[in-house]
Amino acid sequence: MKGSVKISVQAKRIRFDFTIRRNLTIVRGDSATGKTTLVDMIRQYVDNPSGSPVTVISDVPCAVLEGSLWKATLSGISGSIVFIDEGNDFVSSVDFARAIAATDNYYVIITRESLPALPYSVEEIYGIHYSGRYGSLRQEYNEFYRIYGDI
């Protein structure tokens, strides 16, 4: 996959809009900013193709990678944006770095740990911040911001 991908993830109460620019994006920052909620919403959407209250608008498919069977799951994913929530310790392994190098996916990894095996740029380290109410007054609007500013 090449180029940037715009993604919008929304439900009644909350909405995330962001652009993924490279194959590796790291998301970190304060607790309770919506990182896990974002991954939960994408999982909800992907796991319920027959009907979900979550809408994901993206030119490419989205997927969630997690758990001890990550390698088997990953072998079935291509041309996708792959989200990985914190709590998945495989992200710091050399095994994982090797496995994703052989794929054409983009990866959004939620972690505060440094990942020395992965070649990501500080420009692609983001936080999530609240940006106001969108549309109806009940929908909270969130977006990504560069933690280390524009370089």
Partner 1 sequence: MLSVFFGQMADAIYNTSAYFQYDYEDSWITDPITREMIRDIDKSCVLDSGVIDSPVLGKIPPVQLSGGVKTLILVRFEKDKIFNASTCGDNCARWLLRIAENEDRTINLRHLMDFGSDPFEIKILNTGDIVRSMSELVPIAGLFV
Point out which residues bind partner 1 (CB under 8 A).
13-14, 28-37, 86-89, 92, 111-114, 140
Token duo for residue 10: 């929304």
Helix (H, G, I), strand (E, B) or coil at 6: strand
Q: What are the phi and psi torsion angles at 82 (to 5°)?
A: -105, 120
* Closest approach of partner 1 to the CB of residue 42, in Å: 16
Nearer to partner 1, 29 or 62 (CB): 29
* Closest approach of partner 1 to the CB of residue 74, in Å: 19
Ordered DSSP codes for 60-125: S-EEE--STTHHHHHTT--SSEEEE-TT-GGGGSHHHHHHHHTS--EEEEE-SS--TTS---GGGE
Nearer to partner 1, 61 or 127 (CB): 127
Nearer to partner 1, 5 or 97 (CB): 97
* Closest approach of partner 1 to the CB of residue 86, in Å: 6
